[in-house]
């Protein structure tokens, strides 16, 4: 490993600043098990320095006209577009994401966030009149952004783009699993000349850097994306300073297939979508609810689709499924597959991975006859595991769809749009897809129940980072 792949600094106050941490965190290509870089394991002291820089930059940045803030964001979007291929390859190597998926999703989504935040803030009305009061929306102050590894640049962008658009300054902790795309964003921010202290990045672990951000008295709002377990911890730590906490957490999303749906079209489409990004998507439709009388047909279609997915080298344009993000994630998913078998679910295809083989690979796996008392029905697996669950009536389908602690996403398939929408309105989740409705990256994104609180993207995402003040007189 060359010196150029060792990153022992944080980006603070517009400059690369040596970390006070004495150790480094390896970044591994999960397809080859090769260490491709190292980043600093920063400390609470580094967070103090970054927060102080953000705090000092806040007065000027918050008073910068929205059009000027939008110009910076648009410039970032432009540079992301220029460097899209290099960034796609970076994300592919650190995450194991197939290069085709990185090009189609992992880079376009963050580019969209910066461009859309710029568009919205140019025309957003920060002051309105309401029955004699002036209602003012203004930034919180310092935003602490703690982000995950599955869509690493996208999740940074959802927080940074809308946070900066609204006049907040930002301290970001990227995932230690996939930190390299954050380096690319730092280079762009530095190149366009964003004022020092407005955007800061501190590398490190959740227990050290994440908790220091969440509990910091000079951080005014925390936006966290990750597991529900970690989200609870962020809330606990942040509670000491009574700051706002926005959480985008896990999911166990139902995919309700009604009895009049075209199974030949629905099942392959659903299986392919669920396996996207190696199943490491919080909104993945991991529970397919199907009429009991059509179970055998659904199983055959799901098996054929899963078995046909090209699994392998993520640098190959023909690969649809790469490895999971890490060996630790591979072990986690393997454990859930064993639990599924042990608890009586019927394995249709796939099964436990070969842990001894190179790379963190898992075969696309499908279970059937999954019941609501099983672990694989209840818990988020975050891997290539689909559960097929039979139902006997629409009422039971709705009950099973909602029989989860989560409420992030869902889908309903039917030949009748009206029928599908009626079911969709009864599912307690933040985003519902009807038939082949496309994902809208600018619609409000977030969940019910233990999938979190708050919303990201679009106008709702912008307003998440704004305080509300009323002025009378």
DSSP state of 242: T
User: Half-sphere exposure of residue 458, counting CA atoms within 13 Å on the CB side?
Assistant: 10
What is d(CA 228, CA 349) in angstroms, rounded to the nearest whole number? Answer: 29
Closest to 358 in 3D by CA, of 330, 319, 382: 330
Pairing of strands 254-257, 409-413: parallel
Closest to 159 in 3D by CA, of 207, 224, 105: 224
CB atoms under 10 Å from CB of 259, counted, come to: 16
What is d(CA 340, CA 2) in angstroms, rounded to the nearest whole number? Answer: 43
Residue 300 phi, psi (nearest 5) = -65, -45
Query: In the annotation, is 129 catalytic?
Result: no
Query: In the annotation, is 116 catalytic?
Result: no
What is d(CA 37, CA 41) in angstroms, rounded to the nearest whole number? Answer: 13
H or E segment to which residue 385 belongs: strand 385-391
Choose the catalytic residue: 38, 94, 248, 456. Answer: 248
CB 129, CB 15: distance < 8 Å: no
Choose the catalytic residue: 38, 116, 176, 282. Answer: 282
What is d(CA 30, CA 97) in angstroms, rounded to the nearest whole number? Answer: 9
Pairing of strands 34-40, 24-29: antiparallel
CB 382, CB 403: distance < 8 Å: no
The DSSP line for 124-169 is --SEEEETTEEEEEEE-SEEEEE--SSSHHHHHHHHHHHHHHTT-E
Closest to 95 in 3D by CA, of 280, 358, 284, 351: 280
- By annotation, the residues acting in catalysis are 248, 282
């Amino acid at each position: 490993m060359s010196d150029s792949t060792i990153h022992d600094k944080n980006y603070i106050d517009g400059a690369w600043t040596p970390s006070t941490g004495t150790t480094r965190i390896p970044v591994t290509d999960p397809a080859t098990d090769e260490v491709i870089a190292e980043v600093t394991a920063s400390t609470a002291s580094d967070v103090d320095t970054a927060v102080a820089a953000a705090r000092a930059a806040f007065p000027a940045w918050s008073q910068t006209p929205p059009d000027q803030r939008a110009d910076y964001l648009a410039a970032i979007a432009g540079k992301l577009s220029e460097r899209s291929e290099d960034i796609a390859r970076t994300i592919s190597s650190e995450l194991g994401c197939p290069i085709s998926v990185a090009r189609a999703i992992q880079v376009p989504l963050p580019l969209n966030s910066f461009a859309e935040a710029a568009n919205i803030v140019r025309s957003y009305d920060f002051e309105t009149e309401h029955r004699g009061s002036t209602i003012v929306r203004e930034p919180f102050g310092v935003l602490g952004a703690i982000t995950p590894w599955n869509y690493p640049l996208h999740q940074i962008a959802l927080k940074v783009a809308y946070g900066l658009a609204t006049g907040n300054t930002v301290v970001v902790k990227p995932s230690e699993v996939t930190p390299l795309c954050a380096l690319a964003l730092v280079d762009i921010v530095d190149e366009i000349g964003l004022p020092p202290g407005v955007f800061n990045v501190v590398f490190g672990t959740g227990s050290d850097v994440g908790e220091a951000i969440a509990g910091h008295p000079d951080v005014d709002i925390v936006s966290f994306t990750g597991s529900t377990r970690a989200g609870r911890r962020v809330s606990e730590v942040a509670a000491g300073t009574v700051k706002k906490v926005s959480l985008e957490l896990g999911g166990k999303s139902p995919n309700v297939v009604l009895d009049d749906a075209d199974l030949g079209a629905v099942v392959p489409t659903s299986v392919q979508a669920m396996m996207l990004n190696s199943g490491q998507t919080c909104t993945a439709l991991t529970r397919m609810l199907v009429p009991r009388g059509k179970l055998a047909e659904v199983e055959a279609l799901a098996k054929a689709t899963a078995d046909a997915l090209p699994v392998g080298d993520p640098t190959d344009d023909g690969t649809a499924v790469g490895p999971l993000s890490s060996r630790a994630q591979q072990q986690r998913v393997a454990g859930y597959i064993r639990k599924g078998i042990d608890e009586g679910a019927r394995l249709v295809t796939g099964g436990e991975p070969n842990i001894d083989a190179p790379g963190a690979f898992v075969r696309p796996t499908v279970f059937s006859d999954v019941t609501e008392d099983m672990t694989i029905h209840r818990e988020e697996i975050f891997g290539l595991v689909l559960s097929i669950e039979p139902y006997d009536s629409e009422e039971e389908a709705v009950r099973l769809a909602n029989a989860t602690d989560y409420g992030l996403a869902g889908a309903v398939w039917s030949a009748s749009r009206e029928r599908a929408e009626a079911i969709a309105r009864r599912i307690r989740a933040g985003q519902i897809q009807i038939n082949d409705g496309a994902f809208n990256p600018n619609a409000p994104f977030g969940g019910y129940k233990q999938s979190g609180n708050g919303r990201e993207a679009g106008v709702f995402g912008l307003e998440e980072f704004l305080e509300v003040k009323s002025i009378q007189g």
